[in-house]
Amino acid sequence: MNHVVSGEIPSKDLFMMCQDVNTAAFRDMPQGFHIRTCRRDELEIWKQMHLDFPHSPEQHVEYMRFMDLCYENMYRKNENLFYEKSLFVCNEYDVPVGRGFIWKVYNRINSIQWYKVLREYEGRGIGRALLTVLMKNLKKNDYPIYLHTHPSSFRAIKLYSDFGFSFVSDPIIGFRNNDLYECLPILEKYIPEKDFKNLKITGATNELLEAASSSKTLEL
């Protein structure tokens, strides 16, 4: 799950999966940045990290209400595991500038959750290094890895593609529409031509469809 308050690009739903990671996409963390887990006193920082764009007080309240609900529904009952898995990328002052983790959603399938690098830190290789950390120690039986995203995350989508993720083509995933074919023309405007041509599309696995249909709580 990856909720973004929409701006110029509509907040449509997209689903991706990786069945075999492309290790050639792996990179080390840039100098001056390091990985650590989210501390218990940093939960509000974790929740607010996506709010790094101009927004109104009303949008802020709406977004934080959404994040509070997500945390209560998905992570509170497994709070210790959440803090064990939830990673921050931090700068030289130990201030979080990115986040992400892998979580077993619906108690069935692995998903990349809340992957984000603050906009002022984009373009430094931090996101690629974070995704490397998340995926480099996965075992064969951990795959496929799934994620949910939006067309506004076109930079991340290009990166996911580099790592071996494909778009899921099925029109319905659980209780949501999959807006892939509506979003492809949008993505074509923002993703460089050669990278757009490298985007891959595949059908959903039965485990994804069954998992997403098993609960109306949107864990993916």
The encoded tokens of residue 205 equal 């696995």
- How many distinct structural domains can be found in the chain? 1
Domain residues for the domain of 91 are: 14-212
44-61: b or e for each residue (b if 16 or more CB lie within 10 Å)? eebbebbeeeeeeeeeee
CATH number at residue 131: 3.40.630.30
So what's the pLDDT on residue 5?
39
CA distances from 123 to 82, 155, 159 (A): 28, 10, 11
* Average pLDDT of span 166-187: 97
Q: In terms of C-beta distances under 8 Å and separation of at least 24 residues, what long-range contacts does 152-155 make, across chains too?
A: 152/4, 152/6, 152/7, 152/8, 152/9, 152/11, 153/2, 153/4, 154/9, 154/186, 154/187, 154/190, 154/191, 155/122, 155/127
Looking at residue 7, its pLDDT comes to: 52
Q: For residue 9, is it within any domain?
A: no
Using only C-alpha atoms, what is the Rg of the chain?
17
The tokens for 189 are: 């405007």
Give the pLDDT band (50/70/90) at residue 6. Answer: very low
pLDDT at 4 over 60: no
pLDDT number for residue 53: 85
pTM, 2 dp: 0.93
**Would 23 be classed as within a structural domain?**
yes
- For residue 157 the two structure tokens come to 């989508």
Is 84 within a domain?
yes
Cα dihedral 5, 21, 146, 142 in deg (nearest 10) = -140
Asked whether residue 217 is domain-assigned, the answer is no
Residue 36 inside a domain? The answer is: yes
Say if 161 falls within a structural domain. yes
User: What are the pLDDT digits (tens) for 115-173?
Assistant: 999 999 999 999 999 999 999 999 999 999 999 999 999 999 999 999 999 999 999 99
Which range has the worst mean pLDDT, 3-7, 29-33, 183-187, 213-217?
3-7
Bridge pairing between strands 109-117 and 145-149: parallel
Amino acid 44: pLDDT: 97
Residue 4 lies in a domain: no
Weakest mean pLDDT among 2-16, 37-51, 67-81, 127-141: 2-16
Cα of first residue to Cα of last residue in the chain, in angstroms, is 5
User: Is 32 inside any structural domain?
Assistant: yes
Token pair 């799934």: residue: 146
